[in-house]
Structure 1
Amino acid sequence: MHEWLVNYGFYSLFLLSFLAATLLPLGSEWLVVTLLIGGQNPVAVVMVATAGNYLGALSTYWIGLYGGDFLRRRVLRMDEATTLKAERFYERFGSLSLLFSFLPVIGDPLCLVGGVLQVGFIRFSLLVLTGKLARYAAVAWLTLEGAAL
């Protein structure tokens, strides 16, 4: 599997980055590092990984947006009072947490909650894209700095 992912380069990176931003427990940083060490263009690697990861997060956001009522009532078992309280809190503080959507374990649920609580598409996109771009840029920078030593 490792060889297949490396051999298909940018296609693999996009797919793995996309899947890593869904609720599946995957990571794409290792492939970013592998491609950079292999001499791929750093800007292209960061852009492909960011695009795939953003679109994966967007799919999770849409699941929350369109399945929100079911998720809120049946899965999370939230009544109306709890829902209103959560919405007020998230409107005040929570949407900025989408900057941290790149973090393992909590990042994917943040995108799901962003959809459930109907964070605006543009706000969601700006915050998530910023966080994901910063993460992949940091991975690329650290990889290239480490390779230069």
Structure 2
Amino acid sequence: METELIFLGIAAFLAATLIPVSSEIIFTGYLALGYSKIYCLIIASLGNCLGTSVNYVIGMAGLIAARKYLRFAPSTESKLQTLNQRYGTWALLFAWVPVVGDPLTVLAGVTRTRWWKFVLIVFGGRIVRYLFILYLFQESSSP
């Protein structure tokens, strides 16, 4: 039964990238079907966190490609770094928000946000989001 949770992990991974997938609906669907709450939470969180990591790497690679092929101006890069220093880390607090959060994780890679800060804020936010959904599910399904 738990091997079927692979689809949940894949959906959560894709949802964390720029591909429009609603992992929240799939997550609650698995819960409604009676799958282990803890397994669902772990698999969805792992998939989602891996997806945000891919976004970060894409952002890093995107900066390298922009420098090489698009002749990304050093002044533009400097402006991005200034914005990142002012708001970047704090903006990652919203990385769990659907639609808005995924581009923020790419931008974190572009601006080379420190990995440990990225992991702490983004992974933490994503896991808390699934915990909140699990809480809401339990509250709505209890008699």
- TM-score, normalised relative to structure 2: 0.88
> Do residues 111 (structure 1) and 102 (structure 2) align?
no
Unaligned runs of 5+ in 1: 1-6
- Aligned residues: CA RMSD: 2.2
Name the aligned partner's letter for residue 85 of structure 2. E
- Asked if the contact 1:72–1:116 (Cα under 8 Å) also holds between the matched residues in 2, the reply is no
Task: Answer whether contact 2:13 2:51 (CA < 8 A) is retained.
Answer: yes
Task: Name the structure 1 match of 2:8.
Answer: 13
Which of 41, 45, 56 pairs up with 1:61? 56
Query: CA–CA distance in 1 between the matches of 2:30 and 2:99?
Result: 25
Matches within 5 A, 1:26-105: 26-71=21-66, 79-105=73-99
- CA–CA distance in structure 2, aligned partners of residues 100 and 35 of structure 1: 26
Return 63-72 or 21-30, whichever deviates more.
Answer: 63-72
Amino acid at match of 1:28: S
Q: 1:73 to 1:91 in 2, by over 3 A?
A: farther
- Asked if 1:145 is matched to 2:139, the reply is yes
Per-residue deviation, 1:103: 1.4
Q: How far apart in 1 are the matches of 2:141 and 2:65?
A: 48
| Alpha-carbon separation, structure 2, partners of 1:89 and 1:55 | 26
Give 3-state SS (helix, strand or coil) of 2:42's partner.
helix
Judging changes above 3 Å, is the alpha-carbon distance between structure 1 residues 33 and 123 closer, same or farther for their aligned structure 2 residues?
Answer: same
Q: Is it true that 1:122 corresponds to 2:135 in the alignment?
A: no
* Distance of 1:85 and 1:22 partners within structure 2: 25
Q: How many residues align?
A: 143
- The sequence identity of aligned pairs, in percent, is 32
- Equivalent residues of 1:99, 1:130 under 8 A apart: no
| Secondary structure at the counterpart of residue 64 of structure 2 | helix
Q: Which amino acid aligns with 1:97?
A: A
Aligned partners of 1:18 and 1:52 also within 8 Å = yes
Q: Residues 132 and 72 from structure 1, CA distance in 2 versus in 1: closer, same or farther, beyond 3 angstroms?
A: farther
User: In 2 relative to 1, CA 20–38 (structure 1 residues): closer, same or farther, beyond 3 Å?
Assistant: same
